[in-house]
Structure formats: C-alpha cells, structure tokens
Structure 1
C-alpha cells in the first residue's frame, strides 16, 4: 500500500509542482501477461498459434496504454487551462483590488487563511473515492504521523511548520507588493525564475544531479531579469518592483528546497493537513498584523463596508483553486501540464495588459520575457533527456538502414523484388 502511494511536496502559492507518483499500471501489466500466457500457449497447435496470441496480447496492451495516455493527455489540457486561468486571474484581480483598497498584507493574510479548507476538501474527496472510508478523526490521526511518531507537538510546530508558514506569507506578500509597482506581465514572467532558483539551491544544498541544460536555463533567467530592468531604464520604481518579485521567487524556491530537506515528501492527505495547519496558524498568530497596520493607517479604510469583499474573496478563491490544482493535479495528469499552465499565464497577462494599455511592449521587454519563459521550459526537460534523444535517433537509424540495404541488394543482384518485399514485410510483422 505504501509502495503505490503518491507523494507530493506542498508548494507555495506560486510554485510549480514536484511530485513523485508510482506507476501502478506498469506493475500490473506484467502480472496480466503471465496469467494469460499459459492458456494461450497450451491452446496453440503450432508455431503460428503462440505468435498470433502474442500479437493479440501486444495489440490489446498497446490499446490499453494508449487509452490511458489519451485520457491523461485530455486531463492535462484541461489542467493547463485551469492552472493558467486561476493563476492569471488571481494576479489580475489582485492588481484590480489595489485600486480600491491598497492593502497587500491584509490580502495576503486573508487569502492564506483560506488554506484551512484544504483538509476538509481532501476529506470529502476521500469519502467519495476511497474504498476504505475512515472517520475524520482516524484520518487526521494517520496524517499527523507525517510529523513524527508523536504527531504534531508544539516543538514540531515551531521548528518544522512555522518557518514554512513564514516563507509562504513572505512569498505571497512580496509578490503582491511587486504588483503595486510594475505590471502583471513583468511580475508573472519574473516569478517564473523561481524554478531556476530551485535548481540552483537543489544543486548546492541537496546535491542534485548537475545538468548543463539547466545551468543554461538559470543563466537565461538571470539574463532576463537584467534585461527586464534595462527595459524600463533602471528607474527606481521599476527596480523596486523587480527586486520584490525576484525576492518572492527566491522565497518560493527556498520554501521548496527546505521542505524537501527537512520533511521530505508527503502523501496527499498529509499535504492537505500541512497546508491546513499553515492556514490555521496564519489566522491565529498573524491576525494581529493587519490590525496594527489598520490603526497605524498603513493599510487603512474608513469602514468595513468599504472593503471590496468581492475582490478579496475572488483572489482568495482563485489562489485556493490554483494551489489545489498545483498540489493534487498529479493524481489525474502529468506534472509537466501543471508547469505549462504556469508559464502560459505570462502571455495571458500580456494580452490583458496590452488591451488595458498598462504596458509598453518594447523589443527589450519582449526579448526578456521570451528568454525567461524559454529558460522555464528548458527546466522541464527530464534528467535523461539527452539519452532519450540518442535512443530515438538510434531507433530511427535502425529502421531506415534495412530498407536502404534491401533496396541496394535488389538493384545489384537483380533478384525478384516481389519475393523480397513479402519476406521483408513478414519479418517486420514479427
């Protein structure tokens, strides 16, 4: 049971997923093959019998694999659209909220409090999908084992949970502060650099495998940051905004790497419980900060009725949906689909900014955004991408060589080409 469980590292509100899912289908197919191979071979009367049975089994297996892949691909397309719309929508709505109530920390606190809904929503899904339905208390007790044999003790909370809660709040607060300074296109594009920062920190701290292509991607990300700053002429307003969003991306990367180093990975229920605890701790311990900001008139509004509750709830709901998709979308599709949804939010924000005339698309800015997105996509390449290309080229070469060899042999010897064609096709079918 533990072998087939999906494990996920819950990420900050703006991060891409790092998920590991055991491929159960790959373990079930060999058992099915062994179970059916005996009767098929015994029922065969000659050499053609086992070969035809084997071909039918291979065809059935390929059809089933294709159906699974098509289903995951369709879910992937839907996931890309949902992730992109939720992330771009929350960014645009937060930008619009600041025109009515300029309170980035209050918005951060309000949206983070909605994380308390993670575990209740997970438990509803558990009741609907799991064949072994457990009570909420029993399920909660099992998920608490993620923190150790003693569960969630005060020591564990202040040493292993509270620091990640602070990093979560810093990530979102700095991101929202950057939206007050610069446009949404630059903010969303610059935040994509967090994946490059994750690679660099993982390489240094976690001793992950060195990959030249990811170093190139990190260099592209840094170059994009410099070019983005140059696009606005190094004005103080834009430099502050760029610094804020780059710092937010760094906090997000630090959150991810430290979680991997300190807590490892978590099952879906454990991740939901962790995020719920972060939301609850935010409500209990951080609620004093918006009150202080109100009385000091840093984030002040005349009355509670003047607060744009619709915008506040919209931003919080979109961020909650985004985090659910990012952290638990691996159950139905590939992690790459989720990452593509994040990077596609950049052109979506660019289109909105273009039609609202809030951005000047000069050549430097377009080039900077392009190379940052290119670096993000390069970081999505698997670790054995070079080996995959070598194997693919080898297969293509081997497939072309027999055809060329047979054609040259037929031309030089003058043998019957029809007989050659039949022999070649028979060999290929086997």
Structure 2
C-alpha cells in the first residue's frame, strides 16, 4: 500500500516542535504544540547512548523498508493469485485500510509502556486535542476525517490497481515521486520557499517516470504507470492537506486520526466495493479470495504506517525517508529473485533518477547551511 504518513516538514513558519518563532522567544500556538515540545524533551534520542541510537535508527529504517516492500509484494501476490475468481483491488484497499483502526490502540499500549501513565490519561489527553484542539466528537470526526478518506482512496486504490499491471519494483519507484509532488504542493498551498535543488529533484522525478515508461523491453503498461503516478500525487495531496488543515500533530493525534480514518473507511467504502462487485467491474468470489496474502498485506500496511508515525515522532523524519528509499532496491531484488524480473538499462536509469530526486528532496538544506533558495512565496 502507498505510504501516507500524515507528518510533514514543509511549513516555513513553524519550528519542528510545533511552535512559532517571535524574535528570540518561542510561543506555543496550542496545547498540542506544548505537548509535542514535552515529548521532544523526553525523546529517546536525548536519553540513549550513540550505539543504542544507531541500533534504533537502523531498526526503524529496516522496518520501514521491509513493511513497505512486503506489503506491496503481498498485495501483488493476492491480485495475481486467481484473477478469474478474484480481481478486486478496491475491495483489497478497503480491507487493508480497515486494520488502521488498530493504530490508536497500538499507540496507547506503546505510550503506556513508555510513560507509565494510565489509559484514561492517555486517551483523555489525545481526545482533547483532536482536530486543532476542537475535541473528539462525532461531528469533528466527520468534519476532519471524511475528506481524508477520499484522499486516502485516491492514493491507495490507484496503487493497488497499478500492481495488476506493473511490477512492485516499478510501482515503488514511481511512488518515490510522492516527495517531489509534496514539495510542489507545499509551494502552492503552504507558501514554502522555492529551492533550486528541490526544483531539480522534481525534474529528475518526472524524468525517471518518463524513462521507465519508455522501457518497451519490460512491457510496462501506460495505464499502470498512470495509476502509480496518480497514487503518488494523491498521497501528496493527503499529506499537504493534513498539514494545512490539522497542522502539527503528536504521535497520539496521528494515531487517533488514523484509527478514525480506518473506522470511516469501514463504514463508508464497503458501498463502492459492493457496487463494483455487483456490476462486474471487479470480480469478487469469497470462496476463492486469497485471504492469506490479503491479511498479510493488511497487517504489513498497518505496521508500515504505524512505524512511520512512531519513527517520526520519536526519532527523525530523515530516518523514515531513508527507510522508504531502501524499500525501492529491496522490491527490485525480490522481483528479480522471485518474480523473474529482467532489469533493463532504462529501468535502472529511471529508478536511479527517482532515487536521486528523493535524496535531493529530503536533504535539510537550511540546517546544513546550503544555499539554493530563490524566493519566498
């Protein structure tokens, strides 16, 4: 499944802890920002020794790469299992997303182990800050989460659909363009600074997709390419809109949000899945459904999304980016070893262009005092 972490580091006016700078003072916008600051001060990165931090970073990178890679591979296996009796990417997307309901319970368990606080305190704190401090209730659930269900479907359904037509390695390579799309939208929606290196990354991402699509030897289908591109773009819309609407969010806020998204998906998206099955657009015979690969893909997808949220909250967004970067060659290796993929020069060149684009987009130029900013939008 397409990774859709709701964290974003695109805002120029907010500091990393969710506060705003006024001269030399830091003023917190709301309780969420203050809690994020408290979490940062208690961050395991400030308490653990260097060897332990190296181990934790390596573990998170490995988990992100493996869960993203295997969730895609399991989805591909499920879709290819018995196309005559089971060809239902929308149903698979609905089924996988339902497990996102478990994100908030998983967060409660992790937070309780870390902080030793009671469940009531953890839940109460998160409920109070849901939806920009509006509080958690049915009305705010629909107001803040329903639009993102649409974006989520727009990101994940085309991705699963693409797996019917292209290999997982091609799909994940194109998905890496998501970072470039996020940057473009951040300039338009969030007023980010235009940076020449990041603009170059956008050009490289587009070039990589074009090169891969021109590879006739791999028999890459244009429809599959377009589905993967649409998926990457909609994932970017999801992330930037979350930043715009919700703002800075803690791990608890995001976990609750993801559980709410899974719940609304359970309640709403069964209708389109049923319509597609009844009209014959998708083939869905439960007796032939590959439940093993489907459950595996769903569990891995949930683990992937929770690992992203957990890693960003407790470590560093760059760690997650490196993990996703590692997922691209990992998928390629699996395709070569188990799916008989024959790599070509164009595929390798296109993948390298996209990887280079991804690297350029995640480099913290401001922190490294590297120039490249053209103007402030």
Are 1:333 and 2:315 counterparts? yes
Aligned position for 2:342: 360
CA separation of 1:365/1:174 partners in 2, compared to 1, >3 Å: closer, same or farther? same
- What TM-score comes out, normalization by structure 2 length? 0.82
Residue 90 of structure 1 corresponds to 71
Mapped partners of 2:143, 2:318: distance in 1: 32
Match of 1:182, SS state, is: coil
CA distance in 2, matches of 1:366, 1:180: 21
* 1-structure distance, mates of 2:120, 2:234: 36
Structure 1 spans left out of the alignment, 5+ residues: 1-10, 29-63, 390-430
The CA distance in 1 between the partners of 2:211 and 2:56, in whole Å, is 36
CA separation of 1:26 and 1:109: change in aligned 2, threshold 3 A = closer
Matched, 1:172 2:156: yes
Question: What is the aligned partner in structure 2 of residue 373 from structure 1?
Answer: 355
- Equivalents in 1 of 2:247, 2:173: separation in Å? 29
Are 2:112 and 1:127 equivalent residues in the alignment?
yes
Change (3 A) 1:142 1:83: closer
Between 1:174-183 and 1:145-154, the stretch displaced more is 145-154
Task: Indicate if the aligned counterparts of 1:224 and 1:369 stay in contact, CA closer than 8 A.
Answer: yes
Equivalent of 1:351, from 322, 330, 333?
333
The answer as to whether partners of 2:87 and 2:282 remain within 8 angstroms in 1 is: yes
- Shift in CA distance, 66/168, structure 1 to aligned 2, threshold 3 Å: closer
| Structure 2 counterpart of 1:110, from 83, 95, 108 | 95
Aligned residues, how many?
A: 341
Give a deviation string over 1:157-183, Cα, whole Å, max 9, x none.
Answer: 444211111111221111011111111
Per the alignment, residue 301 of structure 2 pairs with 319
Q: CA deviation at 1:276?
A: 0.7
Distance 2:101 2:6 in 1: 21
Matches within 5 A, 1:38-77: 68-77=49-58
Structure-2 residue corresponding to 1:215: 199
Corresponding residue for residue 32 of structure 2: none
Match of 2:362, SS? coil
Larger helix proportion, structure 1 or 2? 1
| Inter-CA distance 27–65: structure 2 relative to 1 (3 Å threshold) | closer
Separation (CA, whole Å) in 2 of partners of 1:163 and 1:23: 28
How far apart are the structure 2 equivalents of 1:154 and 1:15?
Answer: 23
User: Shift of the alpha carbon at 1:84?
Assistant: 0.7
Q: Does 1:18 align with 2:8?
A: yes
Equivalent in 305, 313, 320 of residue 287 of structure 2? 305
Q: Structure 1: how far apart are the matches of 2:191 and 2:204? A: 22
State the distance in 2 between where 1:125 and 1:196 align.
32
2:232 is aligned to 249
Q: How has the CA–CA distance of structure 1 residues 386 and 95 changed in structure 2, closer, same or farther, with 3 Å as cutoff?
A: same
In the TM superposition, what is the alpha-carbon distance from 1:27 to its structure 2 partner? 7.4
Q: How does 1:166-315 map to 2 (within 5 A)?
A: 166-232=150-216, 238-302=221-285, 304-315=286-297
**Take 1:109 and 1:25, find their aligned partners in 2: how far apart are those partners?**
33
Note the residue ranges of structure 2 that are not aligned, 5 or more in a row.
10-15, 18-35, 372-377
Please give the root-mean-square deviation of Cα atoms over the aligned residues, in Å. Answer: 2.9
* Equivalent position SS for 1:181: coil
Change (3 A) 1:145 1:281: same
Give the SS at the match of 1:387. coil
String of CA shifts for 1:283-327, please: whole Å, max 9, x gaps.
11111222222222333344x332211111100000000001101
Q: Deviations over 1:69-128 (max 9, x none)?
A: 432222111111111111100111111101223211111000101011111111122322
Report the structure number with the largest CA radius of gyration. Answer: 1
For 2:214, what is the secondary structure of its paired residue? helix
CA contact (8 A) 1:72 1:332 kept: no
For normalisation by structure 1, the TM-score amounts to: 0.72
